[in-house]
A and B are shown apart, each in its own frame.
Chain A
Amino acid sequence: MDAQVTDPAPRDDSIAVRIRGVVNRFGDATVHDGVELDVRRGEILGVVGGSGTGKSVLMRSVIGLQTPSEGEIEVFGEPMVGRDEDDTIAIRKRWGILFQGGALFSTLTVAENVQVPLREFYPQLSQSLMDEIAAYKVRMSGLPEDAGAKYPSELSGGMRKRAGLARALALDPELLFLDEPTAGLDPIGAAAFDELTLSLKRTLGLTVFLITHDLDTLYAICDRVAVLADKQVIAVGTIPELLALDHPWIQEYFNGPRGRAATAAVARHEKVNA
């Protein structure tokens, strides 16, 4: 059942994130008990699981906001657990993170938000160049021109997510973490966000670690899907591979009414394209 959890012979440079035996405990509650997962370079890996299975906790463990009780995590081949924050700056420059609510700095405008990482890591850039970079990043994230000078409180939820994505992309990261990017967006906005993620992945060669509940997103853009259940990653693979497995949760997830609807939508889409 857990055939694809790990690569048989993982080559180091082909793996962006390697998670081995991660255990996360909060008091008496164990959220993860031996999570094993590889994120390959250049793929969009979807992470799914029921509410409370620790999808966000897993992401926070990888990006260093939560120190796992046990286990090893490597990003770009560098160990992350127990490292000093200063030692991991080189890696921090290579990833971007989109939090669920956007997590924009409320006292700064959208464009200034995008400039924060640039200013922090590359202070030698001139202000005019930084303004230009912020401008095209904001536009590339699908926001209109006048959004740059707005404050986060003036934006809708969907626009805030796009602005958060613009900030996550500020440093041209190789690895992008997205925490439920399409939650709370209308279907059109969600589809546009999926499209945007896919096109960014294609043009920039991004690796994406994508937490989502959105079946349409999974079908539309994910190369592989990892399923978190029973405190572990119980399976990783393409959706057809997962469907072949006999796990009740996976079956219910993909073959429930919503799962079937998403499958049908993809099938229809493919027929139209053919």
Chain B
Amino acid sequence: MLEVADYTLEDRGTARVVAFTGPLTLSKLGTLPDRLDSVTEGLATIDLSRIERIDTVGAWIVHRLAVRSGAKVVGASPDAANLIEQVGSAAAPMLVRPERIGSFNRVLGEVGQATLLAGRTMLGLLGFFGAACIAFANVVRHPKRFRLNAVVQQFEVVGVSALGIVGLMSFLIGLVIAQQGAVQLRQFGFESFTINLIGRITLRELGVLMTAIMVAGRSGSAFAAQIGTMKLTEEIDAMRTIGMSPMETLVLPRIIAAVVLMPLLGFYASVIAIIGGGIYCWVDLGIPPVTFIQRLREVVPLTDFYVGMVKAPVFGLIIALSGCFQGMQVEGNAEDVGMRTTAAVVQAIFLVIVLDAFFAVFFTGIGWS
């Protein structure tokens, strides 16, 4: 099996002849193609009478040598001649990858396309929100079309199954805030203000915001992937033909679930975070739970709770909207489902944080600070 393809150069009279020997197959080629580059000059004949085997790659090597040098192929067996002819007839210049455009133009084009896409997405999202409102109005007018089972099922998926992970996350965040806050406040001797920090920041900001991020990752992505897959398998088209509105059957239950459950989950997260912070205060700062709760009631205004609870359903709406919207945009292939799912999560978290900033300014403006 050590035998490899090779060639010998002979001068028969005035004509230069290259005679191939051995198996002219891909696995036995070795460096033959590179060495052949030097023998094209003045070549008149290619002798194949001494080869053992030939495959299409070998045939291609012969073909391209013959084309380059204009030499004649002799001594080929019928099979070899057939192969060379087949390969030759398939020869055509072919682009291996799409032509690249200049990097400046490419960057410019990408920026333009990204801008267009962002604009279109926002517009589409707005339109989708409108469609969801219409679907909601329809269901209100025809309460029989309300899908209670689907809504309850989404309640479970979005809310109940999220309790564990949201709780764990909130507990740890409460601990970390208390610990970091205590370290800083200790420098001024105001360790007891840790309670203010925990109470206010969790109820007002972090409880709801972190829950929104968690729900976007857990449920927003699931919405996009589920609806996207259904789009791909034509389930949604099938629904339409039967006369079921995908907005009413798929989108609305998810939106309702997210809008209703976000405040509940956000409040739950805040409470757990406060418990986490309280445990830290008890263990490290020596503040007993009773004192901790009493102090909480003094320093945390009720408006903080309102701020959180007003934001939460809006965040839920945004998460569900972008999840369902991106899912409905899926077209073509499975790859698109993955891309749309990512887009749904990124879009939801981005919009949630932008809106959170607006809310912060707004609530301070109306005096709920």
Contact = CB atoms under 8 A, between A and B. Distances in A.
B86 A140 contact: yes
B48 to A, nearest CB: 16
Contacts of A93: 27
Nearest to A174: B55
Interface in B302-336: 332-333, 335
Given A136-B91, A203-B79, A204-B55, A149 B97 contact: yes
B286 interface: no
B98 interface: yes
A7 interface: no
Contacts of A134: 94, 96
A171 B96 contact: no
B31 interface: yes
Closest 3 CB pairs of A and B: A135-B94, A139-B90, A149-B95
B56 interface: yes
Interface in A105-162: 106, 109, 111-112, 115, 122, 124-126, 129, 131-140, 145-146, 148-150, 153
Interface string B61-104: 00010000000000000010011001100111111111100000
B94 A106 contact: no
B27 A140 contact: no
B127 interface: no
A223 interface: no
Nearest to B26: A172
B34 interface: yes
Given A93-B27, A136-B91, A172-B57, A112 B83 contact: no
Nearest to A148: B94
The CB with the most chain B CB atoms within 10 A, among A137, A139, A153, A172, is that of A172
19 contacts: A109-B97, A111-B94, A112-B97, A126-B33, A134-B96, A135-B92, A136-B87, A136-B91, A136-B92, A139-B91, A140-B86, A140-B87, A145-B92, A149-B94, A150-B98, A153-B333, A153-B335, A172-B25, A172-B56
A111 B94 CA distance: 9
B137 to A, nearest CB: 39
Nearest to B336: A153
A264 to B, nearest CB: 33
Contacts of A112: 96-97
A23 B30 CA distance: 41
B96 A131 contact: yes
A139 B92 contact: yes
Given A122-B27, A135-B94, A149-B95, 10 more contacts: A109-B98, A111-B94, A124-B30, A135-B93, A139-B90, A148-B94, A149-B96, A171-B26, A171-B27, A172-B55
A133 B57 contact: yes
A145 B96 CA distance: 10
Interface in A238-272: none
Contacts of A172: 25-26, 55-57
B82 to A, nearest CB: 6
Given A124-B31, A135-B91, A204 B56 contact: yes
Contact of A132 (B64, B86, B95): B64
Nearest to A134: B96
A171 B29 CA distance: 12
Interface of B: 25-27, 29-31, 33-34, 55-57, 60, 64, 79, 82-83, 86-87, 90-99, 332-333, 335
Interface residues on A, range: 20 to 34
A136 B95 contact: no
Contacts of A203: 79, 82-83, 86
Contacts of B55: 172, 204
B342 to A, nearest CB: 16
A138 B333 CA distance: 23
B60 A133 contact: yes
Contacts of B83: 203-204
The CB with the most chain A CB atoms within 10 A, among B64, B86, B90, is that of B90
The CB with the most chain A CB atoms within 10 A, among B55, B82, B335, is that of B55
B334 to A, nearest CB: 9
Nearest to A131: B96
Contact of B94 (A124, A125, A138, A169): A138
Contacts of A171: 26-27
A145 B60 CA distance: 17
A123 to B, nearest CB: 12
Nearest to A93: B27
Nearest to A111: B96
Contact of B56 (A126, A136, A149, A150): A136
Given A132-B64, A172-B55, A153 B332 contact: yes
Interface in A168-206: 169, 171-172, 203-204
A153 to B, nearest CB: 6
Contacts of A126: 33-34
Contacts of A138: 94
A146 B24 CA distance: 29
Contacts of A136: 56, 60, 87, 90-92
A145 B94 CA distance: 6
Contact of A149 (B31, B64, B91, B98): B98
The CB with the most chain B CB atoms within 10 A, among A106, A115, A140, is that of A140
A153 B90 CA distance: 24
B84 to A, nearest CB: 10
Nearest to A143: B94
A238 to B, nearest CB: 25
B214 to A, nearest CB: 31
Given A149-B96, A149-B98, A140 B90 contact: yes
